[in-house]
Amino acid sequence: MTVTATQSAESAQSAQSTPATGPARTAQTGASTTAIVTVPNGVGMNYQAAQDAWRAAGLHVSPAVDATGANRLPIVDSNWVVLSQDPPAGSRVAAGSFIVATVKKYSDN
């Protein structure tokens, strides 16, 4: 199929006159659409439930820090409790930001 310059120009003009949504609109208007989210409180929750809340809010979860300093990795996340989080609950951050939890096993003293 041969495309003429007139057809290409008409296609480009048609694409510009059609209202766009989502990322395409951002590219056409140049406007920033970075969403801001409020960080949910995960402190006191089991680590799995906290991760679910953070992800539902639009955050990425970084690997947790073991509060005992033993550098253990939470294998069964629901067996660990969140002692602190960074950024703290109530903070307003860009969607897609990373959150880090400090956790310990429920069985730790």
pLDDT of 31: 62
User: Given pLDDT bands bounded at 50, 70 and 90, which one contains residue 98?
Assistant: very high
Report the alpha-carbon distance of residue 52 to residue 75 in Å, rounded: 16
Q: Which domains does the chain have, with CATH numbers?
A: 1-33 (no CATH), 36-105 (3.30.10.20)
Q: How far is CA 37 from CA 86, 96, 97, in A?
A: 14, 9, 9
Ramachandran sector of residue 90 (left: φ over 0; alpha: ψ -120 to 50; beta: rest): left
Cα within 13 Å of Cα(77), Cβ side: 15
Question: What are the tens digits of pLDDT across the range 80-94?
Answer: 999 999 999 999 999
pLDDT of 30: 57
Element of type H or E holding 11: helix 5-17
pLDDT of 9: 47
pLDDT of 1: 47
Please tell me whether residue 94 adopts helix, strand or coil conformation. Answer: strand
pTM over 0.75: no
